[in-house]
């Protein structure tokens, strides 16, 4: 959600900024802009629309000459997408330009104060409030001024500021929002995410919350709000820029679907030792797991759907009560959680605002916390008591695929380790589960070969405006993720239902030609879900059955069958989702949708 890039050094800043902003398009945005220190002062170009529009607009003006600047892609919150509301915003006197991610909660209060002081606002944004406040408080020192500004702000944010009076300097700060600092040779950068800095450097630091960062071509300095000088040791990116490129695929989403075997393999291979899960280094000792009273899994979107599968696996295998909750509701529900409980928060980025708020609430109430996330040194990783990284690599498409699959794999390991620790599973059975978990990458590889079949099914059904997914048990959790994929990529109205709920109202929506995708991956529930499928088929639905059972399309039960390899029922969500990801992808393609940048969505949701 929104993207920040800043550069100072020996190159033309505009080229670096534009390239960086292009790499951050996946975060979701509806307008973009840049500001550069030029010999004529600050020059700002911004526009509603895509990066291509900004690129064309800048070069139509002859480019912006200068070696220090900031850029931004905006996802609208305060004020509709427009040229005026786009970032960067400029102070009333034209000396300062500022970019901002997040939300300033007290912006109305500050706006009224600034208006009384004579400031005139051009936009509807909370961001313009901050740049005028910066001008009002400016004391000749960028670091000290930003420190004073931060003290006046409520909410979560990342800020980057440049001044016409300080050539080559930029300052930045973060609070509960992602921001990194890249260290080059005679050039340095700031950005919302790693891909934006890779053309310049692979060395970076994630500053702590409310650390003021002063960046010049010669170096980077970190300060606390009290003015204390801080030190950080840069980390090195261990993946190549090509990992953040399409690599010959038409879309990032398709590339990432095909990267799932590696993502799952990397997540589990180093954590199965001697045929059993080895999780002590992640704070999941047998002693802790034996003593845990309840487990709360808290997440949003696809991560929550992974949590629902994890809930089913942990409860069945380890017999621990598990509550999977929407992160945005957890914080405000006065949750019953405390000492003796484990709170597992799941977030691809580790920066999801609602999930971070839930993590802090759980810690405040005395629960032990574990983060499952994909981004090293993210806020969730730093703040949780322990962290289990999913080694999925950079995920660029807004609609998650490989990160979701890696999250499932991590949760399976936790379920098996907890079952062993609590004596609800013997070692021989645990080894069988670990063998099946280790075999998931090869089985996913096999399912990727359904690509042509799913493309053809998508072609047949791409004109349908309503789709229903049915499942029972783990299949119901998997159906929720499959439904989300379809609606977010293709904009087709889609709902997932537990098979047994059909007769309690939902079946009234089934009519001739309604598309139903049904999952049947647990032999213990075959008969029940097949009965549900026949009831929709009898009412004229077109049915696609995804199953590991011995079923064929017969016209009476279903129109098409997608066959899955065999696996333990608790793990089946890792397989059933693969063809349904491909189905959603191709429906979106046939409908002409922007696959990697679906409308109104953002990759990392850093506001509540």
Q: Residue 137 pLDDT more than 60?
A: yes
Cβ neighbour number for residue 248 with a 10 Å cutoff: 6
Q: Residue 129 pLDDT more than 60?
A: yes
Q: Which residue ranges form the domains of the chain, and what is each CATH number?
A: 3-241 (3.60.20.10), 252-425 (3.40.50.10490), 449-590 (3.40.50.10490)
Higher-confidence position of 293 and 155: 293
For the ranges 76-85, 449-458, 491-500, which has the lowest average pLDDT? 76-85
Mean local confidence (pLDDT), 114-125? 94
Q: Residue 358 pLDDT more than 50?
A: yes
Per-residue pLDDT of 170-215, as tens digits, reads: 999 998 788 999 999 999 999 988 889 998 999 999 898 899 999 9
Q: Clarify whether 2 is annotated catalytic.
A: yes
Mean local confidence (pLDDT), 458-464? 95
Q: Residue 108 pLDDT more than 60?
A: yes
Q: Residue 605 pLDDT more than 60?
A: no
pLDDT, residue 268, reads 94
pLDDT, residue 540, reads 87
Provide the 8-state DSSP code for 591. Answer: T
Please say whether the beta carbons of 575 and 567 come within 8 A.
yes
Q: Residue 218 pLDDT more than 60?
A: yes
Torsion sign (Cα): 446, 302, 411, 282? positive
Q: Residue 607 pLDDT more than 50?
A: no
**Buried (b) or exposed (e) across 170-206, using 16+ Cβ within 10 A?**
bbbbbbbbbbbbbbbeebbbbbbbbbbbbebbbbbbb
pLDDT, residue 243, reads 57
Residue 62 — pLDDT band, cuts 50, 70, 90?
Answer: confident
Higher-confidence position of 1 and 45: 45
pLDDT, residue 582, reads 97
Mean local confidence (pLDDT), 113-120? 95
Catalytic site residue from 2, 68, 434, 521:
2
Catalytic site residue from 402, 443, 485, 603:
603
pLDDT, residue 603, reads 55
pLDDT, residue 46, reads 92
Between strands 515-520 and 542-547, the pairing is parallel
Mean local confidence (pLDDT), 238-267? 82
Mean local confidence (pLDDT), 453-477? 95
User: Which residues, listed in sequence order, are joined to residue 215 by a DSSP beta bridge?
Assistant: 170, 220
Higher-confidence position of 512 and 411: 411
Mean local confidence (pLDDT), 299-311? 96
pLDDT, residue 501, reads 83
For the ranges 2-6, 280-284, 349-353, 393-397, which has the lowest average pLDDT? 393-397
124 vs 97: CA distance, rounded Å = 17
State pTM to two decimals. Answer: 0.74
CA distances from 386 to 215, 272, 280, 336 (A): 31, 18, 10, 21
pLDDT, residue 1, reads 57
Mean local confidence (pLDDT), 573-599? 94
Share of the chain above pLDDT 90, in %: 72
Per-residue pLDDT of 19-36, as tens digits, reads: 999 888 766 678 899 999
Q: Residue 76 pLDDT more than 80?
A: no
pLDDT, residue 449, reads 96
Q: Residue 528 pLDDT more than 60?
A: yes
Q: Residue 80 pLDDT more than 90?
A: no
Q: Residue 531 pLDDT more than 70?
A: yes
pLDDT, the chain, mean: 91
pLDDT, residue 491, reads 94
375 vs 178: CA distance, rounded Å = 11
Q: Residue 246 pLDDT more than 90?
A: no
Q: Clarify whether 246 is annotated catalytic.
A: no
């Amino acid at each position: 959600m929104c993207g920040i890039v800043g550069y100072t050094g020996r190159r033309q800043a505009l080229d670096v900024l534009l390239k960086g902003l292009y790499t951050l398009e996946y975060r979701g945005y509806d307008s973009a802009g840049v500001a550069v220190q030029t010999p004529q002062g600050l020059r700002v170009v911004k526009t509603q629309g895509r990066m291509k529009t900004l690129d064309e607009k800048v070069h139509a003006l002859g480019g912006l000459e200068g070696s220090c600047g900031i850029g931004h892609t905006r996802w609208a919150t305060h004020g509709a997408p427009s040229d005026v509301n786009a970032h960067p915003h400029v102070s009333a006197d034209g000396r300062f330009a500022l970019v901002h991610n997040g939300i300033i909660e007290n912006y109305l209060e500050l706006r009224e104060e600034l208006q009384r002081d004579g400031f005139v606002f051009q936009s509807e944004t909370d961001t313009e409030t901050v740049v005028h406040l910066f001008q009002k408080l400016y004391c000749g020192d960028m670091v000290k001024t930003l420190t004073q500004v931060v003290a006046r702000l409520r909410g979560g944010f990342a800020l980057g500021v440049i001044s016409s009076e300080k050539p080559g300097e930029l300052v930045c700060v973060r609070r509960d929002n992602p921001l990194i600092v890249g260290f080059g040779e005679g050039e340095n950068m700031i950005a919302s995410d790693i891909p934006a800095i890779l053309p310049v450097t692979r060395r970076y630091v994630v500053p702590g919350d409310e650390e003021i960062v002063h960046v010049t071509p010669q170096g980077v300095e970190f300060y606390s709000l009290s003015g204390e000088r801080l030190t950080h040791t840069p980390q090195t990116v261990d993946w190549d820029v090509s990992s953040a490129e399409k690599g010959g695929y038409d879309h990032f989403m398709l590339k990432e679907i095909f990267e799932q075997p590696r993502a799952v393999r990397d997540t589990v291979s180093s954590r199965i030792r001697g045929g059993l899960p080895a999780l002590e280094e992640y704070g999941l000792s047998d002693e802790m797991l034996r003593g845990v009273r309840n487990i709360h899994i808290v997440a949003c979107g696809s991560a929550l759907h992974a949590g629902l599968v994890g809930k089913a696996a942990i409860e069945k295998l380890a017999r621990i009560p598990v509550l999977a909750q929407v992160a945005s509701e957890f914080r405000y529900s006065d949750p019953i959680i405390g000492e003796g409980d484990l709170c597992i928060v799941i977030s691809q980025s580790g920066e999801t605002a609602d999930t971070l708020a839930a993590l802090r609430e759980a810690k405040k109430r005395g629960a032990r916390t574990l983060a499952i996330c994909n981004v090293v040194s993210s806020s969730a990783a730093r703040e949780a008591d322990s962290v289990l990284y999913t080694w999925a690599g950079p995920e660029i498409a807004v609609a998650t695929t490989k990160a979701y699959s890696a999250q499932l794999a991590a949760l399976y390991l936790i379920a098996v380790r907890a079952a062993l620790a609590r004596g609800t599973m013997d070692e021989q059975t645990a080894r069988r589960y670990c063998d099946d978990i280790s075999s998931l990458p090869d089985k996913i590889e096999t399912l990727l070969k359904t690509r042509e079949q799913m493309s053809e099914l998508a072609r047949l059904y791409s004109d349908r405006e309503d789709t229903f997914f049915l499942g029972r048990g783990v299949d119901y959790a998997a159906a929720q993720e499959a439904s989300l994929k379809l609606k977010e990529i293709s904009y087709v109205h889609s709902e997932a239902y537990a098979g047994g709920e059909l007769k309690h109202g939902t079946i009234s929506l089934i009519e001739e030609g309604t598309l139903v995708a049904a999952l049947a991956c647990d032999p213990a529930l075959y008969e029940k879900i097949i009965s549900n499928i026949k009831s929709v088929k009898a009412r004229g639905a077109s049915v696609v059955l995804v199953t590991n059972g011995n079923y064929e399309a017969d016209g009476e039960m279903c129109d098409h069958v997608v066959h899955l390899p065999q696996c333990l029922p608790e793990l089946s969500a890792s397989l059933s989702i693969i063809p349904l990801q491909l189905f959603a992808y191709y429906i979106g393609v046939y409908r002409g949708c922007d696959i990697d940048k679906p409308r109104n969505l953002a990759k990392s949701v850093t506001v509540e």
